[in-house]
Amino acid sequence: MNAAFRTRLRELLTDRGSSLRGAARALNYDVSYLSRVVNGRQPPSARLAEALDELLKADGELVALATPKALPAVPDEPPGPASDIARMKAGAAYVLGHADLYGGDTVAPAAVQIWRSAQRKLDFGAIPDIAQRDYLSAVSEAAEVAGWLLFDSGEFEAARSAFLESHMLARHAGDRAMQWFALDMLAMLDTECSRPGETRRIADELLSQRRIPPRVALLARVRRGRALAQIGDRQRAMGDLDAARGGLEESLSPRDPEWAWWVNHCEVRGHSGHALLSLEEPGAAIPRLQDALEHATPRGVMLYRIELLRSHAKLKVWSEVEREIHEVSSLLGTINSGRNRRLLREALRTVDRAPGVPSGLSALVGDTVAAIAS
């Protein structure tokens, strides 16, 4: 990924006498996330680049280096499986970075094309036996990326097919880390589609496996907590989510798969807020959602603002509802996420159906619904 950004960041940390953990603490970021960025396992978000730039007094240098200008360069390798794998990974890095800033709608088709093109070579037997395992793992990852972007686009059935294909390919490759990832993504999708029974079965399957990495187990507890909240089991739901939050620092382990970088404080607090909304406790959900909002990607900001809108609507705090509608509306022209638009429509219906809605607010809801459809 962005080698120039990583190199300059390390130089600045050294020059300023700051450690990675110290920088994470100063910015209130999860140190494991920063570690993934520094080690090239995850591209820096624009928000993180700005925060680091300000902390290290880099005068905009880190922001400039973090801004994607073109597709990442692919290593100069002869045509063949290794070159294909490099291109898949470069393409995935680009579309994921784009989706964090602008939503998944526009890049989901590209991710599907990357996955399908690679899979066709497998289907036609074009990959030599000696390269099969690595190629299968890479295509499994490409299917997972496509599934995630389809999910963000609101194409849930297509996302499910991609995640199931990712799991099958990872199993054939003997890639346990990607198998865990595909299962986690399926649990995420089942939570979104209000299938708590299936979410719990997946989470319990993950937790029953021997020597599962701590971060994978932690995330399985988050998924199970969300499912338990959907069926109204508050005690066990919050028990799982509180245990996940309490174990964030202690769960760091060399056995964690690379994809687990994003399991951080922001993510767990956000899920706790979602769970409390499912439990019809909007007042308790609000501070957790606000906390998660502070360190979210632009796409994540839109999601948390929608959930805050819904929370204030349930509490009938109309001034806050109006403020959140304006905040979300300002993002509609930038963030193209079918999932977020669906959630926003649902939140606006909650407002529109509530008794005692001021007439001006009702008109604003109508205008926003029209803006979503345009």
CB 213 within 8 A of CB 176: no
Question: Burial of 236 by CB count in 10 Å (0-12 exposed, 13-18 middle, 19+ buried)?
Answer: middle
Q: Which pair of structure tokens corresponds to residue 320?
A: 């806050």
Q: What is the pLDDT of residue 249?
A: 64
Position 121 confidence tier, pLDDT thresholds 50, 70, 90? very high
Look up residue 129 and give its DSSP letter: G
The predicted structure's pLDDT at residue 235: 97
Does the pLDDT value for residue 253 go beyond 70?
A: no
CA atoms within 13 Å, Cβ hemisphere of 307: 31
Q: Is it the case that residue 184 has pLDDT exceeding 90?
A: yes
Q: Given pLDDT bands bounded at 50, 70 and 90, which one contains residue 17?
A: confident
CATH for 74-278, among 3.90.700.10, 1.25.40.10, 3.40.50.2000, 3.10.20.30? 1.25.40.10
Distance CA 9, CA 43 (A): 13
Could you tell me what percent of the chain has a pLDDT over 70?
93
pLDDT value for 297? 81
- 25 pLDDT band, cuts 50/70/90, is confident
Q: How confident is the model at residue 167 (pLDDT cuts 50, 70, 90)?
A: very high
CA 235 to CA 322: how far, in whole Å? 33
Look at residue 32 in the predicted model and tell me its pLDDT. Answer: 67
Q: What is the pTM of this model?
A: 0.79
What does the pLDDT read at residue 101? 85
The mean pLDDT of 356-370, rounded to a whole number, is 93
The mean per-residue pLDDT over the stretch 260-273 comes to: 84
Contacts of 311 (CB under 8 A, 6+ apart): 273, 277, 282, 283, 285, 286, 289
**pLDDT for residue 78:** 63
Cβ atoms 5, 65 nearer than 8 A: yes
Task: Give the DSSP letter of residue 296.
Answer: -
The answer to whether residues 72 and 271 touch, using CB atoms and an 8 Å cutoff, is no
**pLDDT at position 252 over 70:** no
Q: Average the pLDDT over 265-288 and give the result.
A: 94
pLDDT at 71: 47
Q: What is the pLDDT of residue 156?
A: 97
- The more confident residue out of 78 and 354 is 354
Check if 1-67 and 74-278 are the same fold: no
Residue 100's pLDDT is: 85
- Give mean pLDDT, residues 214-219: 90
Asked if residue 208 has pLDDT above 70, the reply is yes
- Domain 1-67 maps to which CATH number in 1.10.260.40, 3.30.9.10, 1.20.930.40, 3.30.2020.10? 1.10.260.40
- pLDDT class for 296, splitting at 50, 70, 90? confident
Q: Indicate the domain borders of the chain.
A: 1-67, 74-278, 296-373
Tell me the C-alpha distance between 337 and 155, whole Å.
10
Instruction: Name the H helices within the chain.
Output: 3-15, 20-27, 31-38, 46-55, 61-66, 81-102, 108-123, 132-152, 156-173, 176-192, 196-208, 214-230, 234-246, 265-278, 282-293, 298-315, 318-329, 338-353, 359-373
The Cα-based distances of 141 to 91, 166, 178, 181 in angstroms read 11, 7, 7, 9
pLDDT in tens, 43-72: 788 788 888 888 888 888 888 888 755 445
Average pLDDT over residues 204-219: 91
Tally of residues, the chain? 374
Higher per-residue pLDDT: 101 or 71: 101
Greatest mean pLDDT among 63-77, 162-176, 207-221 lies in 162-176
DSSP track, 215-272: HHHHHHHHHHHHHHHHTT-HHHHHHHHHHHHHTTTTT--TTS-GGGGG-SHHHHHHHH
The pLDDT of residue 180 is above 80: yes
Task: Report in angstroms the alpha-carbon separations of 356 from 22, 42, 115, 325, 361.
Answer: 49, 47, 50, 17, 10
